[in-house]
Chains A and B, each alone.
Chain A
Amino acid sequence: MAQDLGWKELPEGDTLKAGTAAQFHTGDWRSKKPVKDEKTCINCLFCYIYCPDSAVKVQDGKMIGIDYNYCKGCGICESVCPVKPVKAIKMVSER
């Protein structure tokens, strides 16, 4: 969306085209990020199913990474990862 429109130019009633949330990088305020271990991931896709922000990227039935533009760092992917004894997704501090 163009920035800084005045009240006369803005769409009435805040009615916008669908999907504008894609333009808003909600991952900006993450304090921890999930990091995937390529070697141990079993591609069960639990993380993909549970991710509340659809930030887990999947291609050809394989988990190929995390979209950090939208990942808010909630840690659900780490929590649901069933790999034992060490989970294949680990939350790492952004600092």
Chain B
Amino acid sequence: MVQVVAKTGNEAMAEAMRQINPDVVAAYPITPATEIVMIFSQFVADGLVNTQYVPVESEHSAMSATIAASAAGARAMTGTSSQGLALMYELLPIASALRLPIVMPEVNRALSGPINIHNDHSDTFAARDFGWIQIFSENSQEAYDNMLQAVRIAEHPKVKLPTMVTTDGFIISHCLEKIEVFEDDVVKNYVGKFPAYTNLLDLKNPVTLGALDLQNYYFEHRRQTAEAMKSAKEIILEVGKDFGKKFGREYGFFEEYKMDDAEMAIVCLGSIAGSAKSVVDEYREKGVKVGLMKIRVYRPFPAEEIASVLERMKAVAVVEKADGLAAKGGPLFDEIRSALYDKKKKPSVIDFIVGLGGREVTHKHLNEIFDELKDLAATGIVKELIQYKGVR
């Protein structure tokens, strides 16, 4: 039933797309998109999928065509990264407003400028308020698993929202890893038939989509989308649990690593969690009660759930690959600190902005962060609230 193969993050996501076998993929399969949609176009050329592939002239058009296909009643996907995602920004909130269950792999990479192609989370974080579910992956296996779950989440009748599944550029997207893939039929049954909620081609029941929505209705529709995002939380957990039952790997809003008796915690997302876990192990050996929380679902933001775990800590260090450029820290820090504000007993929270533009986050950097976290837990004194780590 399970095959163990070597795949890069991009190949793993493209493989998931092949098995999902969407009706339509509209994509711009060259830079700044990563290889995902290019690999997928080969599947189309080789006749391995039944997908109608629409090569478009930009990501703006890719998302437009994907929205149109989804509205017409097709299971529609696309994929992108970095500047490509930025070029889609204008369309992303339209996909969620129309409640279209599009699933999109997105490879986290820096935004220009200066021009850069390497990993950080600026592109995806900037899209956080567009009504898209955002799921982060630590490695290729999670990327594959998340892609399959994303279909079930996005298309659930209580959700009907577009969903992006992310990996970290180059660190995951181009790194060869051993992963387990399921048989085609297993995936086919798992994702099921596409429940076309809107069908523009049904001439007997014509509908209007995307009508003008001014002062009198826009607000109500935004409120609806917010509610849909909130209801998605329950479904994300349900799908994650069910995935665990079926395939042995259970998923939630976040992963807790050695958090049970922890007094202090590192919070991060994506590939950095791998290195951070090994540093947690080192400090555990020295008797330091430190744990790690790896955020998997960034939107809808599981604020209460995160806070109810972190409130037990004395100190928390958020480690993130995005900067608010003079906001109150990075976006993750902002929201985690705010989530803890209502708790009676709350830990000191500090922010480390790391790895912008693919700058390597080394063991030494993480050691320094852990040492500072340890000091903070012992003294309660915040030396510097928001720090850049690894910048010259």
**Cβ-defined contact, B198 with A10, below 8 A:** no
Contacting A17 at CB < 8 Å: which of B99, B206, B224, B227?
B206
**Cβ-defined contact, B216 with A19, below 8 A:** no
Asked, given contacts A6-B220, A7-B221, A7-B223, whether A13 binds B207 with beta carbons under 8 Å apart, the answer is: no
Residues of A1-38 at the interface with B, using a CB-CB cut-off of 8 Å, are 3-7, 10, 12-21
Q: Which chain B residues border A20 with CB–CB below 8 Å?
A: 208, 211
The minimal Cβ–Cβ distance linking B70 to chain A, given in whole angstroms, is 11
**Cβ-defined contact, B210 with A14, below 8 A:** yes
Highest count of chain A CB atoms <10 Å: which of B99, B197, B220, B223: B220
> Does B384 interact with chain A (Cβ within 8 Å)?
no
> Does B97 interact with chain A (Cβ within 8 Å)?
yes
Give 16 A-B contacts (CB < 8 Å), ordered by A residue. A3-B216, A7-B220, A10-B217, A10-B220, A12-B160, A13-B198, A13-B209, A13-B224, A14-B211, A15-B207, A15-B209, A16-B207, A16-B208, A17-B207, A20-B208, A21-B208
- Excluding A15-B99, A15-B207, A19-B206, 13 further A-B contacts by CB distance (< 8 Å) are A3-B216, A5-B220, A7-B219, A7-B220, A12-B224, A13-B97, A13-B98, A13-B99, A13-B198, A14-B97, A14-B213, A15-B208, A16-B208
**Cβ-defined contact, B216 with A4, below 8 A:** yes
Binary interface encoding of chain B residues 212-237 relative to chain A, with 1 for a CB under 8 A from any of its CBs, else 0: 01001101110110010000000000
Which 6 interchain pairs have the tightest Cβ spacing? A13-B99, A18-B206, A7-B220, A7-B223, A16-B208, A13-B98
Q: Which residue from chain B places its CB closest to the CB of A1 in the assembled complex?
A: B217
CA distance A19 to B100 in the complex (A): 22
Q: Which chain B residues border A15 with CB–CB below 8 Å?
A: 98-99, 198, 207-209
The minimal Cβ–Cβ distance linking A85 to chain B, given in whole angstroms, is 41
Interface of B is mostly: loop
**Cβ-defined contact, A10 with B224, below 8 A:** yes
CA distance A32 to B315 in the complex (A): 69
Residues of B179-206 at the interface with A, using a CB-CB cut-off of 8 Å, are 197-198, 206
Highest count of chain B CB atoms <10 Å: which of A3, A4, A15: A15
**Cβ-defined contact, B224 with A7, below 8 A:** yes
Q: Which residue from chain B places its CB closest to the CB of A4 in the assembled complex?
A: B216
CA distance A17 to B198 in the complex (A): 11
The interface of chain B, by Cβ under 8 A from chain A, is: 97-100, 160, 197-198, 206-211, 213, 216-217, 219-221, 223-224, 227
Interface of A is mostly: loop
**How many residues belonging to A are interface residues under a CB distance threshold of 8 Å?**
16
**Cβ-defined contact, A18 with B224, below 8 A:** no
**Cβ-defined contact, A19 with B208, below 8 A:** yes
CA distance A74 to B154 in the complex (A): 44
Q: Which residue from chain B places its CB closest to the CB of A12 in the assembled complex?
A: B99
Q: Which chain A residues border B98 with CB–CB below 8 Å?
A: 13-15
Q: Which chain A residues border B211 with CB–CB below 8 Å?
A: 14, 16, 20-21
Q: Which chain A residues border B224 with CB–CB below 8 Å?
A: 7, 10, 12-13
CA distance A48 to B363 in the complex (A): 73
Q: Which residue from chain A places its CB closest to the CB of B100 in the assembled complex?
A: A13
CA distance A17 to B204 in the complex (A): 11
Q: Which residue from chain B places its CB closest to the CB of A3 in the assembled complex?
A: B216
The minimal Cβ–Cβ distance linking B220 to chain A, given in whole angstroms, is 4
Q: Which residue from chain B places its CB closest to the CB of A18 in the assembled complex?
A: B206
CA distance A15 to B210 in the complex (A): 7
Q: Which chain A residues border B219 with CB–CB below 8 Å?
A: 7
Asked, given contacts A10-B217, A12-B160, whether A17 binds B223 with beta carbons under 8 Å apart, the answer is: no
Highest count of chain B CB atoms <10 Å: which of A7, A12, A13, A15: A13
**Cβ-defined contact, B207 with A10, below 8 A:** no
CA distance A74 to B213 in the complex (A): 23
Asked, given contacts A5-B220, A7-B220, A7-B227, whether A13 binds B160 with beta carbons under 8 Å apart, the answer is: yes
**Cβ-defined contact, B207 with A14, below 8 A:** no
CA distance A8 to B144 in the complex (A): 36
Q: Which residue from chain B places its CB closest to the CB of A10 in the assembled complex?
A: B220
CA distance A15 to B227 in the complex (A): 17
Q: Which chain A residues border B213 with CB–CB below 8 Å?
A: 14
CA distance A7 to B217 in the complex (A): 8
Q: Which chain B residues border A19 with CB–CB below 8 Å?
A: 206, 208
CA distance A12 to B98 in the complex (A): 8
CA distance A19 to B207 in the complex (A): 8
